[in-house]
Amino acid sequence: MNQSWWSCKKRQLLSIGLFCLLIPFATAIYANPVILVMGDSLSAEYGLPKGSGWVKQLESQLQKQSSPWSVFNASISGETTSGGLTRLPALLESKKPGIVLLELGANDALRGLSIEQTQNNLQKMIVMSKQSGAKVLLLGMQIPPNYGQQYTRQFKDLYPRLAAQEGIELLPFFMAGVASNKELFQADNIHPNVTAQSILFKNVWGAMAPYQTLLKQSQ
């Protein structure tokens, strides 16, 4: 084998090696230090003074820590998983978030949608977010037992099942510490009041513990 052949092979190997080294950097460049919140009225400050919701408290916490990360709240009152799935592609494309928080599903249950439909929609959103380069935190939801024991149990179980299946972080119950206290709800007995927002924020912030190192740096 002549020297020219070896020189050619070396150049090929160097090119392959350089490409492999650049792969993680390409992923990092794609994702921005943005946290995208996809939620419903529980995250959209329904019935609350502007700037008092848990999402705003998350943003304030990041600012206190001098974190380079920002928060984009894409939550809409009345949103279902179907609506979120429809809107997500454009948001991933425009915001290129590094972290996606999914707080959806409660309105599916209120409208009597099937467990399978809710689960499939959430799964598609999770997969889509991961493929974009974002990490995902799924906020687990629960519904009152008056929907029937079987449906209530299946709805509760779909969140940990999805998180385990897709290998993402999970907040077991977003409304923990709030759901059982009537004093923490607005007059409609459905939406948490201002006082409850700090509890919801602490729930989410605690579930974001695996991201604390990441939140201190830009991607």
CATH of the domain at 100: 3.40.50.1110
The candidate with the shortest Cα–Cα distance to 54, out of 69, 33, 32, 39, is 39
One domain for residues 22 and 35: no
d(CA 149, CA 163): 22
Stated pTM of the model: 0.86
For residue 198, the surrounding DSSP H or E stretch is helix 194-207
pLDDT of residue 20: 43
* Enclosing domain of residue 22: 1-28
Instruction: Based on the residue annotation, tell me whether 41 is a catalytic residue of this protein.
Output: yes
Q: Do 123 and 156 reside in the same domain of the chain?
A: yes
Catalytic: which of 52, 114, 188, 218?
Answer: 188
From 15, 40, 41, 157, active-site residue: 41
Catalytic residue, chosen from 114, 129, 191, 198, is 191
Residues 20 and 73 grouped into a single domain? no
Are residues 40 and 113 located together in one domain of the fold? yes
Judgement on whether residues 96 and 54 belong to the same structural domain of the protein: yes
Residues 66 and 97 in one domain: yes
pLDDT of amino acid 194: 98
**Amino acid identity of 48?**
L
Is the domain of 36 the same as that of 98? yes
In whole angstroms, what is the distance from residue 96 CA to residue 128 CA? 12
- The number of folded domains in the chain is 2
Divide the 219 residues of the chain into consecutive groups of 10 and give the mean pLDDT of each group: 49 46 43 96 98 98 97 98 98 98 97 96 98 98 90 97 98 98 97 98 98 84
The reply to whether 188 belongs to the active site is yes
- Nearest CA to 182 among 199, 200, 196? 196
Q: 35 with 124, same domain?
A: yes
In a shared domain, residues 63 and 1: no
157 is catalytic: no
- Write down the pLDDT at residue 12: 54
**17 and 74 housed in the same domain:** no
pLDDT number for residue 217: 76
What span, in angstroms and rounded, lies between the C-alpha atoms of 44 and 31?
Answer: 24
User: Are residues 116 and 188 both part of a single domain?
Assistant: yes
Residues 56 and 5 in one domain: no
